A and B are shown apart, each in its own frame.
Chain A
Amino acid sequence: MKVTEKKTKNRLLNVGKYFLVLFLIVLPLIVKNPFYQDLLFMMFFYSVLAGAWNFIGGFAGQTSLGHTAFFGIGAYTSTLLYLNLGISPWIGMLAGAALAMLVSIAIAVPCFRLKSHFFALSTIAFAEVLRYLSTYFRGITKGSVGLLIPFNNGWPTFMFRNKIPYIYLTLTLMLIVVFVSYLIKISKPGYYLRALRENQDAAESLGVNTSLYKLIALLISVFFVALAGTFYAQYLLYIDPETVFTFSISISMALFSIIGGIGTVTGPILGAFILTPLDVMLRAWFGNQYFGINYIIYGIVLVVVVIYLPSGIISWIEKKYNLIIEKLLGGKLFSEKVVKELVFNQNEVMFPKIKLEEDINKRPILFEVKELTKRFGGLVAVNNVDFKIKQGDILGLIGPNGAGKTTIFNLVSGFLVPDSGKVLFKGKDITNIKPPHKICATKIGRTFQVVKPFQKMTVLENVMVGTFAVIMDRKRAEKKARQLVNFFGLNKCIDYLAENLTIADRKKLELCRVLATEPELLLLDEVMSGLNPKETEEIINLVRKISEQGITLLVIEHIMQVIMTLSNHIVVLNYGKKIAEGIPKEISKNRKVIDAYLGEEYVIN
């Protein structure tokens, strides 16, 4: 896209946003009809719910269908504190949010490890239990009778005769939710959340503590949902289990988010803005005679969106908007002009150059594997394997299909725990370190046999996930990422989504991304597979440059020419056992190795 066009597009968008917010602020003053005022309140209110759900359901990708539990906790806590202890709902609101967050931790910790369908089921179950409890403990909650809040006008009691203050308060809350969403999206947690949603394994290998970030997303989500519960209680002045602990609230939150655009900042708001008036209008037109028609329409829209427009209405609007800008500016949106490729300085240091001993023989042992063993049921996948890697080496790990090479990678990178044996890095025992993000912190990085790019993030964003492992500040992380992208020759596609890259560029991206975490030892898993000779040569050069920076490499590779020329030391595996070790020349003549690959009876002339 031409730079000027992109700037114009962004400028228009920004101006548009400010006008919209201004309009929303002025709107409540214009609208006099109480029916429409109520509608406005509902629109802002559901935006808060949808936006809040989006933190966990959209950004973190965990489908919760039990969020009504937190809504109810918020509503009941503030109400009970007010009715029984006279505490102002403003304080009660925070107490409710705190309680909801505590409860959510208790639910999340055991449930996060369940896979999506089962996680969703368990959240429904928990919400229902809470509804049941609220009815059961009728001594406190008055059960199904519900709680009535006697009217007492005033700011301290959060009650107003006029709808206007309610509307403005909810609008403010909505704007806060949008702002927090925006902050998260552009900051480290936002990148980490998107990464873990796209590919949890890759995120972990880059140092993302996925469990922690899921929990953070959940807590933020729950906080706002609980506040909304209090707002609801104060608006209607009546709550009961059937209205605040109901499954339809859980569904609505998610529904608005999905239809609007899940995982985006403004999508959930859009969803709420479109569907809430629709709901109210339908109710008004059809009245109680045709009760339920709005849900039928919701259901149909939901099914259609989920099948045909999974990114939501907002993505459709974005496409149309881009087309319109194109027409207005009269040119192609994505021009062929390529950003001038920065000539990179051969000597430019991309990441702290590791100082190596001049004398190769004096270099210390960086990485050691001792008697490493792993069984899967009756099969011994890795059988008592030992080897050492000196700092600065390139060790090639080879062996026929099924010999145990990738299992060893998984054992030393925190994805699997060995049954016996030790793994030592810089003298420290790292055998049982799990999960993988902790291994990344010890400065070991890895790539994957089947590349795992974060598909819906750009090249730059992918690399930034890596840089955030060592840099906190976003601006500096971005700068470092740009340098790395330059080093790897990916400038021409720096703003492309990873899913649109060629396979060779995806491999380079995977290398670039893991190097951003500044590893001292890098594990490369079949990084050349699927490339043509020219692309293979590019990658080999990149690997050599990485080695020149002082980074130690452990490489699995099948293309023999490559591994024999690249490595200075080779370990050969077969059936999980080490069958040979030595320099490439020796290995190619080794009888056992030839047997393993070509067959016992193979005779060399």
Chain B
Amino acid sequence: MLLINIEKISTFYGDLQALYEISFCIEEGEIVSIIGNNGAGKSTALNTISGVFHPKSGTINFMGNQIEKLFSHQIVELGIVQIPEARHLFPRMSILENLQLGAFVSRARMEKEKTIRYVFDLFPPLEERKYQLAGTLSGGEQQMLAIARGLMARPKLLMLDEPSLGLAPKIVKQVFEVVKQVNREGITVLLVEQNVYYSLNISDRAYVLENGKIVMQGSGKNLLKDENVRRTYLGI
């Protein structure tokens, strides 16, 4: 079943055009990646879906709802949750409070206790330190908390913006393991990444974004072998 369909979305920052009529879709249960170099527009795409920016033209259809004109809090209420680049945790709040805030929307608030239990089982270190201030955690722990906090909103579509940023390779592996597991349990994932190997490896399908346009698409495995992907990144 088609979960979300983005059609001919163009987003501007003032007169700077960041996205040029991009179109893509995600089926329920998939892991889809958007890869591309820095400045390609990946974060802009996520923020447009999240309602942080409104597109100048185009439509976004999520489970039968037209959402491109909605405000960000309404979009979270519908079940699309973004875990932002550089995590943006609430630094002077504890792990527990960050998680509680993750369940802010009414739909998630009702099941708060159950979700916290689930999230602590997924990330035991978070439970051990649940009263520790988020600002004092290490990079890897912060990423775990950010994902956990996102899960608290009981998303149907979970979007991650560069989860591997600034993390050591070992931790990156763990993060992607968690993403796979969460997907196995029924959450559809949209992953935006610069790290091509990990993201393409776990994705069912992927799109390559370059200068605000989608230039390639295909299955994760196929794109991983494609010469053109390498050229986009390395220029030669």
Task: Name the A residues within 8 Å of B195 (CB-CB).
Answer: 598-599
Determine if A561 and B230 form an interchain contact, defined as CB atoms under 8 angstroms apart: no
Least CB distance, A505 to chain B, in whole angstroms: 10
Determine if A401 and B196 form an interchain contact, defined as CB atoms under 8 angstroms apart: no
Encode A557-576 as 1/0 by CB contact (under 8 A) with B: 01111111100000000000
Bound complex: CA A529 to CA B162 (Å): 19
Bound complex: CA A526 to CA B39 (Å): 9
In the complex, B15 has a CB within 8 A of chain A: yes
Q: How many residue pairs bridge A and B at CB < 8 Å?
A: 76
Determine if B196 and A602 form an interchain contact, defined as CB atoms under 8 angstroms apart: yes
Determine if B234 and A558 form an interchain contact, defined as CB atoms under 8 angstroms apart: no
Determine if A598 and B230 form an interchain contact, defined as CB atoms under 8 angstroms apart: yes
Determine if B39 and A560 form an interchain contact, defined as CB atoms under 8 angstroms apart: no
In the complex, A503 has a CB within 8 A of chain B: yes
A601 and B197 in contact, given A401-B165, A559-B37 (Cβ under 8 angstroms) = yes
Encode B209-228 as 1/0 by CB contact (under 8 A) with A: 00110000000000011010
Least CB distance, A562 to chain B, in whole angstroms: 8
Task: Name the B residues within 8 Å of A559 (CB-CB).
Answer: 37, 39, 211, 235
Determine if A402 and B236 form an interchain contact, defined as CB atoms under 8 angstroms apart: no
In the complex, A532 has a CB within 8 A of chain B: yes
Least CB distance, B15 to chain A, in whole angstroms: 6
A530 and B39 in contact, given A402-B165, A597-B233, A598-B233 (Cβ under 8 angstroms) = yes
Determine if A401 and B194 form an interchain contact, defined as CB atoms under 8 angstroms apart: yes
A598 and B15 in contact, given A401-B162, A560-B234, A605-B225 (Cβ under 8 angstroms) = no
**Residue ID in chain B nearest A588 by CB atoms:** B236
Interface size classification for chain A:
20 to 34
Determine if B194 and A588 form an interchain contact, defined as CB atoms under 8 angstroms apart: no
Interface residues of A in 507-561 (CB under 8 A from B): 526, 529-533, 558-561
The interface centre, meaning the residue of A526, A594, A602 with most chain B CB atoms within 10 A of its CB, is: A602
In the complex, A585 has a CB within 8 A of chain B: yes
In the complex, A604 has a CB within 8 A of chain B: yes
Task: Name the A residues within 8 Å of B211 (CB-CB).
Answer: 531-533, 559
The interface centre, meaning the residue of B38, B211, B235 with most chain A CB atoms within 10 A of its CB, is: B235
Least CB distance, B89 to chain A, in whole angstroms: 15
In the complex, B64 has a CB within 8 A of chain A: no
Task: Name the B residues within 8 Å of A531 (CB-CB).
Answer: 211
Bound complex: CA A401 to CA B39 (Å): 10
Encode B1-33 as 1/0 by CB contact (under 8 A) with A: 000000000000001111000000000000000
Task: Name the B residues within 8 Å of A402 (CB-CB).
Answer: 165-166
Task: Name the B residues within 8 Å of A532 (CB-CB).
Answer: 211
Task: Name the A residues within 8 Å of B162 (CB-CB).
Answer: 401
Least CB distance, A404 to chain B, in whole angstroms: 11
Bound complex: CA A597 to CA B232 (Å): 11
A530 and B16 in contact, given A400-B38, A598-B230 (Cβ under 8 angstroms) = yes
**Residue ID in chain A nearest B16 by CB atoms:** A503
Task: Name the B residues within 8 Å of A503 (CB-CB).
Answer: 15-17
Bound complex: CA A530 to CA B211 (Å): 7
**Residue ID in chain A nearest B12 by CB atoms:** A503
Bound complex: CA A563 to CA B17 (Å): 22
Determine if B234 and A593 form an interchain contact, defined as CB atoms under 8 angstroms apart: yes
In the complex, B169 has a CB within 8 A of chain A: yes
In the complex, B123 has a CB within 8 A of chain A: no
Least CB distance, A573 to chain B, in whole angstroms: 13
Determine if B234 and A594 form an interchain contact, defined as CB atoms under 8 angstroms apart: yes
Determine if A558 and B39 form an interchain contact, defined as CB atoms under 8 angstroms apart: yes
In the complex, A143 has a CB within 8 A of chain B: no
Bound complex: CA A561 to CA B236 (Å): 7
Bound complex: CA A594 to CA B38 (Å): 15
In the complex, B120 has a CB within 8 A of chain A: no
Determine if B236 and A584 form an interchain contact, defined as CB atoms under 8 angstroms apart: yes
Determine if B15 and A502 form an interchain contact, defined as CB atoms under 8 angstroms apart: yes
Determine if B196 and A560 form an interchain contact, defined as CB atoms under 8 angstroms apart: no
Bound complex: CA A207 to CA B83 (Å): 41
Determine if A600 and B233 form an interchain contact, defined as CB atoms under 8 angstroms apart: no
**Residue ID in chain A nearest B193 by CB atoms:** A599
Bound complex: CA A568 to CA B201 (Å): 35
Task: Name the A residues within 8 Å of B17 (CB-CB).
Answer: 503, 530
Bound complex: CA A391 to CA B235 (Å): 26
Bound complex: CA A594 to CA B37 (Å): 13
Bound complex: CA A562 to CA B18 (Å): 19
Task: Name the A residues within 8 Å of B201 (CB-CB).
Answer: 601
Least CB distance, B135 to chain A, in whole angstroms: 10
**Residue ID in chain B nearest A562 by CB atoms:** B235
**Residue ID in chain B nearest A532 by CB atoms:** B211
Determine if A563 and B169 form an interchain contact, defined as CB atoms under 8 angstroms apart: no
In the complex, B198 has a CB within 8 A of chain A: yes
Bound complex: CA A400 to CA B198 (Å): 15
Query: A602 contacts which of B18, B169, B197 (Cβ < 8 Å)?
Result: B197
Determine if A597 and B38 form an interchain contact, defined as CB atoms under 8 angstroms apart: no
Bound complex: CA A565 to CA B236 (Å): 9
Determine if B165 and A597 form an interchain contact, defined as CB atoms under 8 angstroms apart: no
Least CB distance, B137 to chain A, in whole angstroms: 12
Task: Name the B residues within 8 Å of A601 (CB-CB).
Answer: 197-198, 201
**Residue ID in chain B nearest A590 by CB atoms:** B234
Bound complex: CA A532 to CA B196 (Å): 24
The interface centre, meaning the residue of B18, B169, B227, B230 with most chain A CB atoms within 10 A of its CB, is: B230
Determine if B39 and A597 form an interchain contact, defined as CB atoms under 8 angstroms apart: no
Bound complex: CA A600 to CA B172 (Å): 11
Bound complex: CA A584 to CA B236 (Å): 9
- Which residues from chain B sit less than 8 Å from chain A, CB to CB? 15-18, 37-39, 162, 165-166, 169, 194-198, 201, 211-212, 224-225, 227, 230-236
| 6 nearest A-B residue pairs (beta carbon) | A560-B235, A599-B197, A588-B236, A564-B235, A598-B196, A503-B16
- Which residues from chain A sit less than 8 Å from chain B, CB to CB? 400-402, 502-503, 526, 529-533, 558-565, 584-585, 588, 593-594, 597-602, 604-605
What are 9 sample pairs from A and B whose C-beta atoms fall under 8 A apart? A529-B39, A558-B38, A559-B37, A560-B232, A560-B234, A564-B234, A588-B235, A598-B233, A602-B224
- A-B contact sample (9 more), CB < 8 A, given A400-B194, A598-B197, A598-B230: A503-B17, A559-B37, A564-B235, A564-B236, A565-B235, A588-B235, A593-B234, A602-B224, A605-B227
